Amino acid sequence: MGLTSGFPVDLILFGMIALFLVLRLRSILGRRTGFERPPQPPQPFQPQGATRPRPGPVIEGRAEPAPPAAQAARPMPEPASALGQKLARIQAADRGFDPARFIANAEGAFRLIVRAYASGDREQLRPLVSRDVFGAFDDGIAAREKAGQTQVVEIRAIPSATIEDAELAGTLAKVTVRFVSDQVSFVRDRQGQIVSGNEAVTELTDIWTFERDVSSADPAWKLVAVRAG
């Protein structure tokens, strides 16, 4: 029996064309691009006292290195402003303190801490943050590990990093920085299904406070508080 006697060739061809069109439309319409804010935006950081709910743990993730454009100088507070005068008091107590260099290092710390928290690297986190912040991060990592969840985090860019506040109490200096970052962040369950966040680039604002005893020989600043902007 010939092939054409039982199966209309033209009907088969039309069916193949229709299937191709359906698959093509699905591949186009199924994509999300731009800066959509998902119904449950990714919120990877939750120290004690923060207002947004604590996420699950993080097992894996990555933070992209800063592109060359992101290394451009950030705007500094005017020296005559109230904030500028606060920074000047810190400079007077610590001759090695420079606000421009501080903000550049703070941006590097932001990327490093995001990467360490996302990968569940407790040993890398411990010297970078205060005891309270480490406890909150450790709780988040442990909870996600127990649930068998995995968080993927990718920092695409940091459009803005600005000093919001500063203070010097005795020898204890604090500087607060507002970070606006473009991130991809989502959580997968054991089956690999996304249960929180999505693969769209989302703009997030985080306000981090760093602290250092200016009388100490250790030049390192530690992250002591985190909250959503």
Q: What is the 3-state secondary structure (H, E, C) of the chain?
A: CCHHHHCCHHHHHHHHHHHHHHHHHHHHHCCCCCCCCCCCCCCCCCCCCCCCCCCCCCCCCCCCCCCHHHHCCCCCCCCCCHHHHHHHHHHHHCCCCCHHHHHHHHHHHHHHHHHHHHHCCHHHHHHHECHHHHHHHHHHHHHHHHHCCEEEEEEEEEEEEEEEEEEEECCEEEEEEEEEEEEEEEEECCCCCEEEEEEEEEEEEEEEEEEEECCCCCCCCEEEEEEEC
Whole-number pLDDT of residue 54: 36
Q: 215 and 181 in one domain? A: yes
Domain span holding position 13: 1-31
Specify whether 151 is located in the same domain as 213: yes
Of 68-82, 99-113, 206-220, the one with minimum mean pLDDT is: 68-82
From residue 124, give the alpha-carbon distance in Å to each of 158, 159, 212: 22, 25, 18
- Judge if 106 and 181 occupy the same domain: yes
Q: Are residues 222 and 131 in the same domain?
A: yes
Q: What pLDDT is stored for residue 189 in this prediction?
A: 87
Q: What is the pLDDT of the chain when averaged over all its residues?
A: 78
| 9 and 83 both lie in a single domain | no
- Interval 53-76 mean pLDDT: 47
Question: What pLDDT does residue 186 have?
Answer: 86
Whether 1 and 104 map to the same domain: the answer is no
- Number of domains comprising the chain: 2
CATH assignment of the domain containing 75: 3.10.450.240
Does 77 lie in the same domain as 19?
A: no
pLDDT (tens digit per residue) in 128-141: 999 999 999 999 99
pLDDT tier at 187, thresholds 50, 70, 90: confident
Closest CA to 50 of 212, 221, 208, 211: 208
Q: Give the pLDDT of residue 8.
A: 56
Residues 6 and 60 in one domain: no
Mean pLDDT of 139-145: 94
Mark whether 10 and 120 lie in a shared domain: no
**What are the distances in angstroms from CA 201 to CA 125, 157, 159?**
25, 10, 13
Is residue 74 domain-shared with residue 94, that is, in the same domain? Answer: yes
Q: Average pLDDT of 143-153? A: 91
What pLDDT shows up at residue 197? 84
pLDDT for 151: 85
Residues 11 and 42 in one domain: no
What tokens appear for 9 in the block? Answer: 């060739």
Answer yes or no: do 56 and 109 share one domain: yes
